[in-house]
Structure 1
Amino acid sequence: MKTKLFVLYGGKSVEHEISLKTALTVLQSIDRDKFDVYPVYITREGVWCHRGRLVERVTDPNDLTIPADPDLANPARSLGAVAAKLFGGGGRQVALPLLHGSNGEDGTVQGLLELLDIPYVGNGVLSSAVALDKAAAKAVLSHAGIAQAAYLAFRYADWQEEGEASIREIEASIGYPCYVKPASLGSSIGINRCEDRVQLLSAVEEAFSYDRKIVVEEEIAGREIQVAVRGNDRALASVPGEFIHDQAFFDYNEKYLAGRLAMSIPAELPEATANEIREQAIRAYQALDCAGLARVDFFLDRTGRLYLNEINTLPGFTAFSMYPIMWERTDGTRYSELIEKLIDYAFTRHADKQTIRYTRGDGQ
């Protein structure tokens, strides 16, 4: 009997389009002899939509948008209909959330799937929520003794009351150039590099339009190195890779629209440095209690010192993304095989959770 695979994509997030691109590649790559695939599209308003089992081959991200049923055009009613129609059907089933950013990569959908008792690919509630919140992740990683760039975090209400003092604190402890980022967002959306106070004020205003908490970081001059990690309790790290570019910072347009980024996989590094990066990546992965997959990003400064930049619990996952290519260059794992490995991790973790007791020893 085939496994039912529910592919969740879209979402109420500024990374909606990226999710569609990821979903397209996954849907084109899934082995239909092993899986019955059920695409589940979540609109920008949070409405859940489906057409049942996927039969045809999809060729364009726009083909993945599904009109909302007028009778179910709100999140609660539409979610109830999807849960009853698809998730409640029984049999061997697993969910594959491909929701980048808010309302999907932040533990919300993971919590829903936990309540529905459906195995799902990727990180759990805690690791998803903490990793997406840059300030929270930095605090955990700092406690684990992992080196990071100097940073400060600010909440909107505090900034409104103490903005001038906050600016002076940034200038005294972080300095210029610095980076301003929304705390809980990815794909370089809302991130700006600042070389003076005028740019800083503009960047802070933009970042607060995407989140109620922001992070300001010092710039680490050097190289940006990435490594792919997969697995549950015994995680594996890929060979490191890097994007070759001549800019201090590449934003959303450079990453996803310009098509000018070139990859170097494996990155040209001394063997000792490559091994250290892989070891640090696994340490960080375990510190955040990650499972399934993550991409861990580092800065390597001109003295050879490593600084962890961030952990991405749902990295770019098209056929041309760094994460799957790093695995292919590491051990020959092809894209479709990688998806199946991640699904296997999901079933293993779900089975492990079934051994947890929810009653006391006396049965109460």
Structure 2
Amino acid sequence: MTGLRVALTYNLKRIDARRNDAEAEYDSPKTVAALARAIAARGHRVVRLEADARLPVRLARARVDLVFNIAEGRSGRSREALVPALCEMLDIPYTGSDPAALCATLDKAMGKRILRDGGVPTPDFFVCETGREPLPRGWRFPAIVKPNLEGTSKGITGASVVDDEASLRRRCRRMIRRYRQPALVERYVTGREFTVGIVGWPRPVAFPPMEVVFLRSGPRTVYEYSLKQDWEGKLEYVCPARLPRSLAAEIRRRALESFHLFGCRDVARVDFRVDERGRPWVIELNPLPGLTPGYSDLVLNAAAVGIGYDDLVGRILDGGLRRRALLRSRHRR
């Protein structure tokens, strides 16, 4: 294939995420550069476009053949869907999931309803908009409280796990004030933490489960925000995870089932907890997983099974290229 003009759309991180989590989900200049190099290595010309208020005009004028999208969006319940929706309006093929899938997964409560209705095991939950809502009948502690519309474990610390109603309401009010959005209250699953990367379209492949091992583990482990910023000496990533073959297969099956339920494309990461009885629970699905070399969970998961960084990026890119070819063939008819 002759090299194409590929736009790389992103939100650039300008604030130190260890001190302020406002831009924690954005990408550093190093990550953007690594992605640009990986795309260029496949013979394409890369056009870097920051996903800010100027993007609609700049993208329309860029005359690109494809968009490789990693933009998280600035704010709002639909922020992750803005670039894909713009691409669809401009009739430009792009990598990754469509606006509907991105909206459904960003809203954690919405995503869990889809998982539950689709028969995928996910912990019980409810949403607090004020912190004064009555607890669901029969609610059991412990619980974990999270912002409903954030990723990268923003707002999550060891104190997010609560054992009683008063603590739950205090934590909910704090999350609602800080992030100006509802809080998700989820039954806390005591057990082990796993993640599964998925890459490919139209036939996605789930990687073997990777376990996040807490080196300073206590009775209640939490893959909290601070650990994701500074994990060396505190976490170990084990892939393939040390699991019975049947359980590893079930986790991969549930990951793909979740991927298909949301209608995802090209790439995603599915996070699990396995309880003390060996039952896997899907916590959430992220269709815009981090792609920081040597750091992001998906990148580590891929590397552990022999897929290098450029190869990983190429596999994501291939999905968009295939859809572009399909779109062009339809236009020629």
Per the normalisation by structure 1, the TM-score is 0.77
CA contact 1:243–1:261 (8 Å) conserved in 2: yes
**Match among 119, 136, 140 for residue 114 of structure 2:** 140
How many Å separate the matches in 2 of 1:7 and 1:213? 32
The reply to whether residue 182 of structure 1 matches residue 147 of structure 2 is yes
Aligned to 2:10: 9
Aligned to 1:254: 227
1:175 deviation in Å?
Answer: 3.3
Aligned to 1:203: 171
Letter aligned with residue 83 of structure 1: L
Q: How does 1:289-328 map to 2 (within 5 A)?
A: 289-320=263-294, 321-328=296-303
1:84 deviation in Å?
Answer: 4.0
CA contact 1:123–1:291 (8 Å) conserved in 2: yes
How many Å separate the matches in 2 of 1:355 and 1:3? 17
Aligned to 1:79: 55
CA contact 2:193–2:213 (8 Å) conserved in 1: no
CA contact 1:106–1:129 (8 Å) conserved in 2: yes
How many Å separate the matches in 2 of 1:33 and 1:255? 31
Q: Which has the larger radius of gyration?
A: 1
Aligned to 1:221: 190
Letter aligned with residue 22 of structure 2: V
The reply to whether residue 241 of structure 1 matches residue 202 of structure 2 is no
1:277-327, CA deviations, whole angstroms, 9 ceiling, x for partnerless residues? 111111111011110110011111111111111101111211222212322
**Bigger shift: 216-225 or 93-102?**
93-102
Q: How does 1:69-148 map to 2 (within 5 A)?
A: 75=53, 78-86=54-62, 89=63, 93-100=65-72, 103=75, 106-148=80-122
How many Å separate the matches in 1 of 2:262 and 2:25? 27
CA contact 2:146–2:175 (8 Å) conserved in 1: yes
**Bigger shift: 11-20 or 316-325?**
11-20
Across the aligned residues of Structure 1 and Structure 2, the Cα RMSD in angstroms comes to 2.6
The number of equivalent residue pairs is 310
How many Å separate the matches in 2 of 1:6 and 1:16? 23
Structure-2 change in CA distance of 1:80 and 1:298 (3 Å): closer
1:354 deviation in Å?
Answer: 5.9
How many Å separate the matches in 2 of 1:196 and 1:15? 32
**Bigger shift: 247-256 or 144-153?**
247-256
Structure-2 change in CA distance of 1:16 and 1:329 (3 Å): closer
1:96-155, CA deviations, whole angstroms, 9 ceiling, x for partnerless residues? 22223655863121101111111211111111110111111111111111111111123x
Aligned to 2:43: 34
CA contact 1:239–1:327 (8 Å) conserved in 2: no
1:356 deviation in Å?
Answer: 7.3
Structure-2 change in CA distance of 1:179 and 1:335 (3 Å): same
Letter aligned with residue 185 of structure 1: E
**Bigger shift: 222-231 or 195-204?**
195-204
1:32 deviation in Å?
Answer: 4.2
Unmatched tracts of structure 1, length 5 or more: 43-47, 49-74, 358-364
1:205 deviation in Å?
Answer: 2.1
Letter aligned with residue 198 of structure 2: V
Aligned to 2:18: none
How many Å separate the matches in 2 of 1:258 and 1:180? 22
CA contact 2:196–2:206 (8 Å) conserved in 1: yes
Structure-2 change in CA distance of 1:198 and 1:240 (3 Å): same
Per the normalisation by structure 2, the TM-score is 0.84
CA contact 2:71–2:80 (8 Å) conserved in 1: no
Q: How does 1:273-284 map to 2 (within 5 A)?
A: 273-284=247-258
Unmatched tracts of structure 2, length 5 or more: 14-20
How many Å separate the matches in 2 of 1:79 and 1:235? 30
**Match among 334, 337, 362 for residue 308 of structure 2:** 334
1:262 deviation in Å?
Answer: 1.6
Structure-2 change in CA distance of 1:80 and 1:244 (3 Å): closer
1:174 deviation in Å?
Answer: 3.5
CA contact 2:145–2:168 (8 Å) conserved in 1: yes
Structure-2 change in CA distance of 1:199 and 1:282 (3 Å): same
1:58-80, CA deviations, whole angstroms, 9 ceiling, x for partnerless residues? xxxxxxxxxxxxxxxxx2xx234
